[in-house]
A and B are shown apart, each in its own frame.
Chain A
């Protein structure tokens, strides 16, 4: 049954540090690389040499934010790279809408998964997700989503350091963290407490497990007001005459007459 478990023993999830993420998309590539040849059907691409599109379980957006002025001093706009994937919500709306029982949330660790053998590809779960975490694979016609690399984290065949999601393992900036967010003593829970981790779209009532760490406040250095006296060389750098003179002027006039 696609009812949600009342509680889960663990709340495995990711903590994503928006201050540290440099937007390199390495997690996107690692995710696609691992998941296209492990859990379930491959993540297909369509028309790769024309108008390409494809299935991804993790996508990086980049946003510009313009802070409000502080003491009437205008602040500089800033860029934030923003990885977006399944948040393994406690009240996952994608699970309860599923008519076939393919979508489920595991009672033992809270991971939200799709049993592709039962999925009929109606796409209703993708509609129910506010975060765009689910994509219907256009080749196989079944729903794909982040598995939290369930086939890595419990995999005794991998060296211990590799038993974490591919995106976390590969992130060169250390912007992604994996752990049990249900345990207040875990490293990820401490990190969330320390940095003020937040839920995305809390008004949707999904109670996401994954947490986002907001960018740290920047220093208050401002772009200097341009006065025209920034440099002793400034007067010498004044714009040159825009009207051509001499030989060039003659060429210009001659060409005009042709």
Chain B
């Protein structure tokens, strides 16, 4: 799949933002006044900024509001509902903490749950697609939620919890890669099932000499040697460097800030791979992925 920068930025930043809201909602830490203001500015910039980025990849932005209508069937619609509810709920909770030094725990728990639901709904947009076997596995929501929690724990200054969650995230991401490499063969779609022709089938001529929306969007292929390098870089930046920084320099502002930046950079690499490595079955009609069919 084409790794669109807007979607990569959206899912990474908003994940971290909702993760931070999750911990603030749980009262980890309980903050009031100016400190609370600082925390919520960061959380809302990440969460809302990410959501804004996702609007940039829409072809017809004026109809974006209609995406609230299909919550009964569409994960994208559910994501929109969860995001707005979480932001409103946590907004009220934050308002009371910042200006009245009042913490309404119930409101916070509700906001925390809605924040996590938002991230889960985002992940299900990808995980539901049978056409992209690499995404169509339980580890997809697994790493989206783990990444949100780990980033949130780092941002909310829960260093010990953050280190544990970063390790969990690394494990889930590694499992997602390992499982993902087998998913295309497991799903069983081949150029033979796509064409239903007998014998060994290969593409002889494409419909058009040039590219089109389908090949540009869905028949993106990444060189394998680059993928392996990027996986190592992603793991290092996402988990190893942040843990090292927090362990060596302690949970102070500068090392934690650097740890967050490193973590997000690693997540960008991981999210880029999530798209770039994903094989859409329509590629079979364009002669792609035949090496990944049932071995």
Question: Contact residues of A with B, CB < 8 Å?
Answer: 1-3, 18, 28, 51-56, 59-68, 75, 79-80, 82, 84, 93, 96-102, 117-124, 126-132, 135-138, 140-143, 198-205, 212, 214-215
Q: Beyond A52-B210, A82-B195, is A132–B218 a contact (Cβ under 8 Å)?
A: yes
Q: Does the CB pair B285–A84 fall under 8 Å?
A: yes
Q: How far is the CB of A119 from chain B (nearest CB, A)?
A: 6
Q: How far is the CB of B284 from chain A (nearest CB, A)?
A: 8
Q: How far is the CB of A83 from chain B (nearest CB, A)?
A: 9
Question: Contact residues of B with A, CB < 8 Å?
Answer: 1, 57-64, 66-67, 69-70, 72-77, 80, 125, 128-132, 187-189, 191, 193-208, 210-214, 216-218, 280-282, 285-286
A4 to B66, CA, bound (A): 19
Q: Does the CB pair A61–B205 fall under 8 Å?
A: yes
A117 to B158, CA, bound (A): 47
Chain A, Cβ-Cβ closest to B191:
A63
Which residues of B have CB within 8 Å of A121?
58-61, 63
Which residues of A have CB within 8 Å of B203?
61-64
Find B196's partner among A61, A75, A124, A198 (CB 8 Å cutoff).
A198
A67 to B214, CA, bound (A): 29
Q: Beyond A2-B73, A61-B207, is A80–B214 a contact (Cβ under 8 Å)?
A: no
| 20 extra A-B contacts, CB within 8 A, seeds A59-B212, A122-B59 | A53-B211, A61-B285, A62-B203, A64-B201, A65-B200, A79-B204, A99-B69, A99-B70, A119-B59, A120-B63, A121-B61, A127-B218, A129-B131, A132-B214, A132-B218, A138-B213, A140-B60, A141-B58, A201-B193, A214-B198
Q: How far is the CB of B18 from chain A (nearest CB, A)?
A: 19
A13 to B204, CA, bound (A): 27
- Secondary structure at the A interface, as helix, strand, loop or mixed, is loop
Which residues of B have CB within 8 Å of A51?
210-211
A133 to B217, CA, bound (A): 13
Which residues of A have CB within 8 Å of B211?
51, 53
Q: Does the CB pair A120–B195 fall under 8 Å?
A: no
Q: Does the CB pair B129–A127 fall under 8 Å?
A: yes
Which residues of A have CB within 8 Å of B59?
119-123, 136-137, 140-143
Which residues of B have CB within 8 Å of A119?
59-60, 63
A127 to B74, CA, bound (A): 14
Q: Does the CB pair B282–A204 fall under 8 Å?
A: no
Q: Does the CB pair B204–A135 fall under 8 Å?
A: no
A248 to B132, CA, bound (A): 64
Q: Does the CB pair B73–A3 fall under 8 Å?
A: yes
Q: Does the CB pair B205–A62 fall under 8 Å?
A: yes
Q: Does the CB pair A200–B196 fall under 8 Å?
A: yes
Q: Which 6 residue pairs spanning A and B have beta carbons closest together?
A: A121-B59, A141-B59, A59-B207, A99-B67, A100-B66, A67-B199
Q: Does the CB pair A65–B199 fall under 8 Å?
A: yes
Find B76's partner among A1, A99, A132, A136 (CB 8 Å cutoff).
A99
A-B contact pairs, 8 of them (CB 8 A): A53-B208, A53-B216, A61-B203, A65-B201, A93-B129, A99-B80, A100-B66, A120-B63
A198 to B194, CA, bound (A): 11
Find A127's partner among B206, B207, B280, B285 (CB 8 Å cutoff).
B280
Q: Does the CB pair A98–B74 fall under 8 Å?
A: yes
Q: Does the CB pair B74–A204 fall under 8 Å?
A: no
Interface centre among B64, B66, B187 (most CB of A within 10 A): B66
Which residues of B have CB within 8 Å of A54?
212
Which residues of A have CB within 8 Å of B76?
97, 99, 122, 124
Q: Does the CB pair A56–B212 fall under 8 Å?
A: yes
A240 to B95, CA, bound (A): 95
Q: Beyond A61-B285, A79-B204, is A120–B58 a contact (Cβ under 8 Å)?
A: yes
Which residues of A have CB within 8 Å of B216?
53
A2 to B77, CA, bound (A): 11
Which residues of B have CB within 8 Å of A79?
204
